[in-house]
Amino acid sequence: MLCAVLGMFAVHRFVAAEGERELHQWQVRLGIVAASRAQSVLEWRDLQFKTLSGLADNLSLQLYLTELTLSGGQPGGITDQSAQAEYLGNLLLVTADQSGFASPVTGPEVQANVQRIGVAGLALLDQKGEILVTTPGTPPLDSQLQDFVRATKLGTRGVLDIYMGASGEATIAFLQPVFAVQGGNRPADQVGAVLGIRTVGDDLFGRLIQPGETQKTAQIYFVRETGATVEYLSPLPDGSKPLQRSLALDTPHLAAAALMRRTGGFGTYANYQGRQVVATSRGIQGMPWTLIRSVDRAEALAASDRRQMILLIGLWLVIAVVTAVVYGVWRHGSSVRLSAAAEGLRQSNAQLQTVSDFLRVVTDSQPTAIAAVDRNGEVIFANSKAGEETGIATSELIGKTLISAMGADRARALQRANQQVVENPSH
């Protein structure tokens, strides 16, 4: 039984190890996809900065801002009739149309005093962070954008993370410094900046789709930590739009909360819908985003769980059968030994009975009363003559003491002699 218990424990450990190997394989699979999608997102971010860098490196734009800085002048913006302002306006407009930093202005187009909402565009800023030239539809610099421009250190580029724009769409902003002509990339050489504002749509979220996806419940999405909550930045399969869903960081076993704190981690968690999933994460360099790649546990490990259960039950049945066979053999062996012992005892009893019968025949033929007593003085054998002399049937004498069979007077001497023999057999 001890071997059976140890065997079942060993089988359980073996099956658990098989499950761990299957989880490891899923960690590799999910990690490969998560890494490729994270790289694609990083390329999208770099593409946005590449667009702004192309503008910032434009010699005419650098010259315009350098002269503006040196002269302290204030051009009139896109409506300025100067050739430089017109050229820069056209440059920004063409770049915005080609790179996605342009979007139709929302709101009714009527001949009335109705404000139309700009959602995306490019803007050229001076050293003070004020707009010099913009593309049509560029949102005004509200307090959030102004704080972003002021908070970005001179000589560095910055990103205003995804936020809900005035039109109710997910929006992001990028800032690229512009350095003076023949200047270096030092903060003191910065003469302005290029601000790019755009909505976030399929051009980014489409990169979360894994080509050739075969898992029905597979999901890839962005999250970030906002205060004490996990904020979901990308659209979700349940229909949630960007920035529409958030959950508390201390939600038990929440995949996003756990994997944000250990980027690159892997495990079994609960997703935002409460379903059990296997998931891993990857960080996006330079962005406060965590990319989560998950598959429902039921789909990912269904075949593995079934195989492990079959293996577990099968091996346990083998142990049970072997245990039953061993127990049966033991019982059979014990039964055989008991039968043999019983037969030996029966034969011994038969032999003893034969000897006893022979002894009785011999003693009954003697004219002398013969009896055998034990150490307690009880009769254990008597011949027929002993029965005649005591007046008690021979069969009834067995078990009686000498005193009860012969009387105290006659038995006292015999009992004393019997006691002496028991105490000193040599006599």
Distance CA(276)–CA(278), nearest Å, equals 7
Instruction: Give residue for tokens 């056209």.
Output: 90
Mean pLDDT of the chain: 84
**How would you class 365 by CB atoms within 10 Å of its CB: exposed for 0-12, middle for 13-18, buried for 19 or more?**
exposed
Residue 213 has pLDDT above 70, yes or no: yes
Q: Looking at per-residue confidence, does 311 or 290 come out higher?
A: 290
Categorize the per-residue pLDDT at 337 as very low, low, confident or very high, splitting at 50, 70 and 90: confident
What is the token pair recorded at 239? Answer: 């229909």
Dihedral over alpha carbons 125, 129, 131, 135 (to 10 degrees):
50
pLDDT tens digits along 42-61 = 999 999 999 999 999 888 88
Strands (E), 35-120: none
Query: Which of left, alpha, beta for 309 (phi over 0: left; psi -120 to 50: alpha)?
Result: alpha
Host H or E run for residue 125: strand 121-125
Topology agreement, domain 2-42+209-300 and domain 306-423: yes
- Average pLDDT, integer, range 100-105: 76
- What pLDDT sits at residue 233? 94
To the nearest 10°, report the CA torsion of 80, 81, 84, 85.
Answer: 30
CA 157 – CA 170 distance, rounded (Å): 21
Verdict on whether the full-model pTM lies above 0.95: no
Q: pLDDT tens across 66-99, in order?
A: 887 776 655 443 344 467 778 888 888 999 888 8
Question: Does 57-104+116-200 carry CATH code 3.30.450.20?
Answer: yes
Domain boundaries, the chain: 2-42+209-300, 57-104+116-200, 306-423
CATH number of 306-423: 3.30.450
Q: How far is CA 303 from CA 19, 276, 306, in A?
A: 11, 16, 5
The confidence score (pLDDT) of residue 79 equals: 40
Cα angle 96-97-98, degrees, rounded to a multiple of 5: 90
For helices 83-99 and 59-71, angle between their N-to-C axes, nearest 10 degrees: 130
Q: What is the average per-residue pLDDT within 175-204?
A: 89
Domain 2-42+209-300 has CATH 3.30.450: yes
3-state secondary structure 248-260: ECCCCCEHHHHHH
Report in angstroms the alpha-carbon separations of 57 from 63, 64, 92, 227, 319.
10, 12, 13, 38, 76
| Tokens of residue 18, six digits | 């098989």
**Region of poorest pLDDT, from 15-29, 190-204, 306-320:** 306-320
Task: Please name the residue that has the structure tokens 């192309």.
Answer: 54
Looking up tokens 């609960």 gives 270
Diameter of the chain by CA atoms? 163
Helix 59-71 to helix 2-56 angle, to the nearest 10 degrees?
Answer: 70
pLDDT for the residue numbered 106: 54
Query: First CA to last CA across the chain, in angstroms?
Result: 57
Residues forming beta bridges with residue 153, ordered by sequence position: none
Reading the block at residue 20, the tokens are 């761990």
Rounded to an integer, the average pLDDT of 110-135 is 76
Higher pLDDT, 385 or 337: 337
